[in-house]
Amino acid sequence: MAQFKEHLSVEVTGAFSPHARGPLTRAQVLAHFAYDDRPVPARADSALGDRPLAGVRILAVEQMQAVPFATQLLAHLGAEVVKVEHPTQGESGRAAQPSIRDDDGRAVGATYLRNNLGKKSIGLDLKHPRGVDLLRRLVPHYDVVAENFKPGTMERLGVGYDVLAADHPGLVYVSVSGFGGLLPTPYGAWPAYAVVAEAMGGFYSFRPEPGRLPNIGVAGALGDIGSALFAAIGTLAALEGRRRTGRGQRVDVAMFDAMLPLMDMVLFNPSIGIRDNSLAAWPGICTSFAARDGLFVVQVGREHQFERFAAAVGHPQWLADPRFATREGWSKHLDDVIRPAVERWARERTKLEASRVLAEQGIVAGPSNDADDLRRDPHVRAHGMVLEVPRPDGGPPLHVAGNPIKLSGSAEPEAQRWPRLGEHTDEILARDLALGAAERAALREAGVIG
């Protein structure tokens, strides 16, 4: 994607610019994008090279979100990802709600739709001995096997790490589960969704408010996505290790473990003497304020910031007021003095306008965005962070978050849709195992493949 610089040269067409080609200033780009609802199309620049993971093959025995998000990210970076799904039911994410009707007549759930772009699907029954045999024969053709079943499930199916590594010593085998499978845990038998990992990792103990229960799931499926990011990093580390040594290894990520570094202050703060993690106990201003069209957030934690903040909102007299002589005073008088004054200042401004005025004075501020704000935001669109995926039922396109990793020497791929169930079964079995049409037909008749 083109990057904002003092001037940027991009190729633009049609309604995206009055220019056919040429240098656009940053201001011109921002001014145009501020009122255009359409996302910036991805550029396929022939001068750029292959994506960095081109040639890496991943066999994903995955479900729902934790591993599917990780492998989708790796697919964005160029890996070929082949999903192994039940031949008639598919993986469980397909049954999530809400759903849409695919062009093969099957319902496809929201969890599946946003975590499987650009992948291939092979229908394979791993409860059938011939399905297990096919998987084992496929594995040597792949660099990575990724799975997120409950520990022990793959072993019971006969396709655990030890079995597959014996077939393919260079295999990188990636597992994500609630509590891990490599090290001891008293919770190994527990089922785990994202909210369990988030709760056990301390998310819901942070920023307590008297008389109010914690807002469960406030970050969506952070327990899944955070774990997925660590799984992707582990995958890349193991692939680099194999490049140096020739040996593969198992990568194991516990969702519980992944939450601790994401919410590291819960663990760290008591060791440095902080026992109260509530916002009321934090010395300074860290809150949201109301503007004309919604909320914007502000964080002021240092004296020079407070000086700028007071001047920006029209109250420089606060600097001589003894109530505001300390950071503790700012927080003590937030609701009775500061909030009413700031919201009077902001009531004729949009949340973006208020944030811009403050940010231009070096004050940490930003609008609290919703889906419409994100879709129209010039930064989001210029960075290709909204992927528009056409719906087969003719409805408005699906908006899926794009890849935040931008690479200077690799082309940004066009958004690709999710796979139909078993869409690539024949292709994969013919290419990797040289199975002919008659063999595939017999396997399909026996219910082994779909």
Catalytic residues: 224
User: 201 and 332: one domain?
Assistant: no
Kindly state the helix (H) or strand (E) to which residue 294 belongs, with its residue range: strand 294-300
Judged against a pLDDT cut of 50, whether residue 22 lies above it is answered with no
Residue 338 belongs to a domain with what CATH number?
3.30.1540.10
Alpha-carbon gap, residue 131 to 198, rounded angstroms: 36
User: 215 and 364: one domain?
Assistant: no
Alpha-carbon gap, residue 180 to 194, rounded angstroms: 14
Name the residue type at position 367: P
Q: Does 21 reside within a domain?
A: yes
Nearest to 95 by CA among 315, 421, 439: 421
pLDDT at residue 220, rounded to an integer: 82
Residue 49 C-alpha from the chain's centroid: 25
Instruction: Average the pLDDT over 305-333 and give the result.
Output: 97
Residue 237 belongs to a domain with what CATH number?
3.40.50.10540
User: 297 and 343: one domain?
Assistant: yes
Running DSSP on this structure, what letter comes out for residue 334?
A: I
Instruction: Average the pLDDT over 290-313 and give the result.
Output: 98
User: 199 and 239: one domain?
Assistant: yes
Nearest to 178 by CA among 273, 45, 64, 39: 64
User: 171 and 43: one domain?
Assistant: no
What tokens does 143 get? 């660099």
Nearest to 246 by CA among 176, 169, 175: 169
The strand ranges marked E within 102-233 are 107-109, 120-123, 144-147, 172-177
pLDDT at residue 39, rounded to an integer: 44
Kindly state the helix (H) or strand (E) to which residue 264 belongs, with its residue range: helix 264-268
Express each pLDDT in 266-299 by its tens digit: 999 999 999 988 888 889 999 999 999 999 999 9
User: 364 and 378: one domain?
Assistant: no
Nearest to 40 by CA among 17, 16, 58, 57: 16
pTM higher than the cut 0.85: yes
Express each pLDDT in 197-237 by its tens digit: 999 999 999 888 888 898 888 778 999 999 999 999 999 99
Q: In terms of DSSP bridges, do strands 7-11 and 21-25 run parallel, antiparallel, or are they unpaired?
A: antiparallel
Residues of the domain holding 259: 57-265+418-445
Q: Does 413 reside within a domain?
A: no
User: 40 and 68: one domain?
Assistant: no
Q: Does 2 reside within a domain?
A: no
Instruction: Average the pLDDT over 81-103 and give the result.
Output: 97
User: 341 and 430: one domain?
Assistant: no
Q: Does 412 reside within a domain?
A: no
- The overall average pLDDT reported for the chain is 90
Length of the chain: 450
Q: Does 273 reside within a domain?
A: no
- How many domains in the chain? 3
Q: Residue 378: how many CB atoms within 10 A of its CB?
A: 18
Instruction: Average the pLDDT over 52-56 and give the result.
Output: 96
User: 190 and 335: one domain?
Assistant: no
Alpha-carbon gap, residue 295 to 284, rounded angstroms: 19
Instruction: Average the pLDDT over 389-406 and give the result.
Output: 94
User: 358 and 434: one domain?
Assistant: no
User: 242 and 93: one domain?
Assistant: yes
- What is the C-alpha end-to-end distance of the chain, expressed in Å? 38
Q: Does 411 reside within a domain?
A: no
pLDDT at residue 48, rounded to an integer: 55
User: 422 and 377: one domain?
Assistant: no
Core vs surface per residue 266-287: b (16+ CB within 10 A) or e: beeeeeeeeeebeeeebebbbb
What tokens does 136 get? 């084992």
pLDDT at residue 7, rounded to an integer: 30
Alpha-carbon gap, residue 18 to 6, rounded angstroms: 19
